[in-house]
Amino acid sequence: MSAAAIPVPTAPRESFLTEGYTIASWLTTRDHKRIAILYAIAITLFFFLGGAAAALIRIELVTPRGDLVTADTYNKLFTIHGVVMVWFFLIPSIPATLGNFLVPLMIGSREVAFPRLNLLSWYIYVLGGIFTVAMLVAGGVDTGWTFYTPFSTMFSNTHVVWAAAGVFIVGFSSILTGLNFIVTVHRMRAPGMTWFRLPLFVWALYATSLILVLATPVLAMTLTLIVIERVLHIGIFDPALGGDPLLFQHLFWFYSHPAVYIMVLPAMGVVSEMITCFARKRIFGYRFMAYAILGIAAFGFLVWGHHMFVSGQSVYAGMVFSMLSMMVAVPSAIKVFNWTATLYKGSIVFTAPMLYALGFVGLFTIGGMTGIYLATLAADVHLTDTYFVIAHFHSIMVGGSVMAYLGGIHYWWPKITGRRYSEAWGRVAAIVIFFGFNLTFFPQYLLGYLGMPRRYHEYAPDLQVLNVLSSGGASILAVGYLLPLLYLGWSLFKGPPAGPNPWNAKGLEWTTDSPPPKENFREPPLVTEPPYAYDPEHPER
Amino acid sequence: MNSPPPVRVYILTWLALMALLAATFTLAHFRLGAANTAVGLAIAAAKVALVGLFFMHLRRASALIAIFAVATLFWLAILFGLSGTDYATRRIAPAPWSAPEGH
Amino acid sequence: MSARPDVVPVDVPWRRETASLGMWIFLATEVMFFGVLFLAYTHARLADPQGFAAASRLTHEWLGTINTAILLTSSLTMALAVRSGWAGHRALVIRLLWATAFLGAAFIAVKLVEYRLEWRDGLVPALHFTYSGPHARAVQAFFFLYFVMTGVHAVHLTIGVALVAWLALRDRDPSHPVRRRETAECLGLYWHFVDGIWIFLYPLIYLVELWR
């Protein structure tokens, strides 16, 4: 960041935050920036709800015997952890908060294409959330977030219908968000903002939106069918009727595998923004990065059967899905290589966002590589349904997506709030989280390899040491997640004004005030530069 | 895009749709084996194409919208096709006590 | 085409194309939504083709065919309504919208008659299913899918009828000329989509081994 004579930034007198102070002005807003903040508050609440479930799980697993909770309660805990974290935290996290706030700013627009639909999507999210919390209070659901038949349709004694309804509802929230972004990016770019001048964050959200729009409806109908089957005791997943329980899995994973790309692509977009800024360098291979994003989105639809290798699906289908799963790793790897090449000979600054970005690259790589093990049909027979799988997907979703989300929150915090947070505490939290994550999940790879099955509240006693390490790590992780609440919250009241561009970053969002005015830009921007026009010879510019 | 299509385009499309409906209904009365389903689906596809091209103005629509329309069908094909790799190659061994009736 | 005008309400073609794109994307979600049911149908039918054929013989193909004709005609009236709006014949738009709504309602009425017949014949799975002939299992599977698919379709159609009626009422007062076209056009796209779903449902439900 630049040193010499810069004027001390002052807060702008007016911004989107000053346009009305009443709750009503917030609850009836059409401002994408306010809607982003509404989402951020909601998903943070759900993050801690899902985290509480995880805490109970990890506490139970400190001892090999099931002595904290009953098996049924344990089943409910991991179910609610999955349902809340996937649908109420991870999927909306970056798109509905950072995406909603930044996409119009980054493309030079005043608003999204359909502002009222945007607000509606938040209300739908809240409604789905209410259903889910009500279901939880009423006793929870124990089918796992995957709702496999025939347990969910025929044998579970818990509130499957409520849970499915809550997820069904929140699905429409994400469909509307995706629809809005696609139309916004196509139709509302500022003059001069061609596709290949877009920040990679916008590319990432565009691709994510395509997935949201094509995959989520399949989940919606599938949940409808299990509700019908559960209520009427008859349905197409019932073998007694000539149906196939595996059809549920095909339909469920047709959505849920692309869903993991919904969770990781926006994170990759955030990482690209942070790495370029804090290496003071243009992204290496911009076009390849953009194509890789689209490739991940498209290929992600072709691999769902790798969740079903041992389910009873045909082994030939397994082979097809295994091959396709190998191929989907290629665009992801291209991105990792390009981030690394961007860092090479960059002028790296280890700010908190950069720490999160670097953490993402490392942990995503590990998660991705362990995914290759799982995609290998024969190896998966040993590893499936063990803690290896859990460690794999948490590496990507927590070590990847959550770290990128936190990094993005820190990176754009000055822009959104107009305040600077304590960089020292930011770095501390990032390091605590990185350390806590590794202590939590690295032992789980070993546990999985050693055969500890997932979704069991007890395990063989000789696996206790690794479990204790993992639970210890989880408590450190919890501290790491609580810290930002404190110092970011503090910065809202006492943080120094940030000014338009505290990081000296490229990108249209940094050309306007912090916080931005309601209409985003005082004059419509005209874009003439390529993206990430950093000058490696003069990194301070 | 400035002047609407003439009314006769719509009327002719409707007549074609009705003719196809009559055709599909009539042909279904003849025993054509596997061709019955194929013909029925082909005629349905033709009807949807007519509705799409002329009633939904796909013929005049931008490339972007045409791409979205085609891509959606392609994505549906992925759902059918890849799950088909399972269903086409699965070997079913029904247990004796649950043998389906009518077999 | 991507250059957005500075003040949005003035540039009507831009608004119309943007709304249209939004509606097409929504229709894409609906295709994937219904697609699940078509996949379930495909799977169930391939598992027992003769059973499905037997079940299809129990449907009322004349009612189904008449309904298809009704819905295709409603697509005509809807498309002509959109066209008339384009050409500026405001009064004609309102009449054609009401014709569309009427035909849509007629479809639903016929469908309800059909459902009643199926109830009378004891063909409603889980609620009133008394069929005990050969292929009873496949017949039950078929009718399960029949009620779910035509039911979800009917819900979409009912929403369409309500929206068409709303539009006909809203626009009977000629004071919002700029917004009229894009609303009608988007509603038209939705209507044709619902028709399109039925076009595929029709042979799959009514025409299987009709030659018997």
Helix boundaries (H) for chain C: 12-47, 49-56, 61-87, 90-120, 136-170, 177-206
The dihedral built from the CA positions of residue A355, A357, A358 and A364, taken in this order, carries a sign that is positive
Q: Are A84 and A46 in contact (CB under 8 A)?
A: yes
Which of B72, B83, B91 has the highest number of chain A CBs within 10 A, making it the mutation to test binding with A? Answer: B83
Provide the terminal-to-terminal Cα distance of chain B, rounded to the nearest Å.
59
Chain B hits for A321, Cβ within 8 Å = 82, 85
Per-residue pLDDT tens for A403-420?
Answer: 999 999 999 999 999 999
Do residues A29 and A35 touch, judged by C-beta distance below 8 A?
yes
Q: Check if C155 contacts B (Cβ < 8 Å).
A: no
| % chain A with pLDDT above 70 | 99
In contact, A252 and A87? CB cutoff 8 Å: no
Q: What is the pLDDT of residue A26?
A: 94
Give per-residue pLDDT as tens, B14-54.
Answer: 999 999 999 999 999 999 888 999 999 999 999 999 999 99
**Angle formed by the axes of helices A245-279 and A387-396, nearest 10°:** 40
* Residues in chain A within 8 Å Cβ distance of B82: 302, 304-305, 317, 320-321
Q: Closest-CA residue in chain A for C7?
A: A110
> Which chains form contacts with chain C, at 3 or more CB pairs under 8 Å?
A, B
The nearest CA of chain C is from the CA of B35 a distance in Å of: 11
User: What are the pLDDT digits (tens) for A188-206?
Assistant: 999 999 999 999 999 999 9
Contact C188 B37 (CB under 8 A): no
Note the pLDDT of residue C1. Answer: 40
pLDDT number for residue B67: 94
A189 CB neighbours in chain C (<8 A) are 2, 4
Which has the higher per-residue pLDDT, A4 or C104?
C104
- CA torsion sign for C71, C77, C80, C82 is negative
Q: How does the average pLDDT of chain A come out, rounded?
A: 95
> Is the link from the previous residue into A266 a cis peptide, with omega within 30 of 0?
no
Q: Which of A218, A242, A313 sits opposite B86 (nearest CB)?
A: A313
| Alpha carbon of residue A227 to chain centroid | 27
For residue range A266-284, list pLDDT tens digits in order: 999 999 999 999 999 999 9
User: Out of A100-109, C89-98, C166-175, which region has the weakest mean confidence (pLDDT)?
Assistant: C166-175
C175-188 tens-digit pLDDT: 655 456 788 999 99
**Minimal CA separation from C209 to chain B, in Å:** 7
Question: pLDDT tens across A458-502, in order?
Answer: 999 999 999 999 999 999 999 999 999 999 999 999 999 999 999
- Across the range C24-29, mean pLDDT stands at 97
- pLDDT for res A436: 97
Confidence at residue C181, expressed as pLDDT on a 0 to 100 scale: 77
Tell whether the torsion through CA atoms of C3, C5, C9 and C12 is positive or negative: negative
CB contact under 8 A, C196 and B48: yes
Inform me whether the C-beta atom of residue C49 falls under 8 Å from chain B C-beta atoms: no
Helix (H, G, I), strand (E, B) or coil at C123: strand
Question: Partners of A510 in the beta sheet?
Answer: none
Subunit contact A187:C47, Cβ cutoff 8 A:
no
Q: Which of A275-284, A358-367, A432-441, C129-138 has the lowest mean pLDDT?
A: C129-138
Q: Is the pLDDT of residue A252 over 80?
A: yes
Say how many CB pairs under 8 Å bridge B and C.
130
Query: Any CB–CB contact under 8 A between A375 and chain C?
Result: no
- Name every chain C residue with its beta carbon within 8 A of the beta carbon of B88: none
For residues C51 and A241, what is the distance between their CA atoms, to the nearest angstrom?
Answer: 12
Residues 6+ apart with CB under 8 A from B52: B58, B69, C192, C196
**Given pLDDT bands bounded at 50, 70 and 90, which one contains residue A442?**
very high
pTM equals: 0.94
| Closest to A188 measured CA to CA, from C46, B74, C8 | C8
C-facing residues of B in 15-74 (CB < 8 A) are 17-18, 21, 24-25, 28-32, 36-37, 40-41, 43-44, 47-48, 51-52, 54-56, 61-62, 64-65, 68-69, 71-73
